[in-house]
Amino acid sequence: MDKVISMIGMATKAGKTASGEFMTEKAVKDGSAFLVIVAEDASDNTKKMFRNMCTFYHVPFYIYGTKAVLGHGMGKEMRASLAVLDQGFCKAIEKKLNESGNLDAKSNAEMR
């Protein structure tokens, strides 16, 4: 398991993530989301919706992992989207995402 997924797991255990489309959307809109990650195999509509929403609300947005991997990392069923609700975890996970060299880990962080 990679470092990004294990960090997501730690954030989840600490109660600092929201997952699933409804909860992720709510976290972005109420300002509690510091970072949003959407699975690579999520639908194009889901990716587009969260990309646009995160751009509008100035929340860093990444596409990373699969639904099964994200869900497994959180100890749950498959998850297409998740929000990190803690600035410390956000910074650590974002650092790992950028270090991963995963060019598909797209970000809008420069907008902050």
CA 42 to chain centroid: 12
pTM equals 0.90
Look up the CATH number of domain 3-111: 3.30.1330.30
Q: What is the domain partition of the chain in residue ranges?
A: 3-111
Q: What's the confidence (pLDDT) of residue 100? A: 75
Question: What was the pLDDT predicted at 103?
Answer: 52
CB 65 within 8 A of CB 78: no
pLDDT at 99: 87
Average pLDDT, stretch 32-38? 98
Give the tens place of pLDDT for each residue, 76-89: 999 999 999 999 99
Answer whether residue 33 shows pLDDT above 70.
yes
Predicted confidence at residue 110, as pLDDT, reads 43
Order across the sheet with 81-84: list the strands.
Answer: 17-19, 81-84, 35-38, 61-63
Distance CA 85, CA 16 (A): 5
Query: Helices 87-99 and 3-13: crossing angle, nearest 10°?
Result: 170
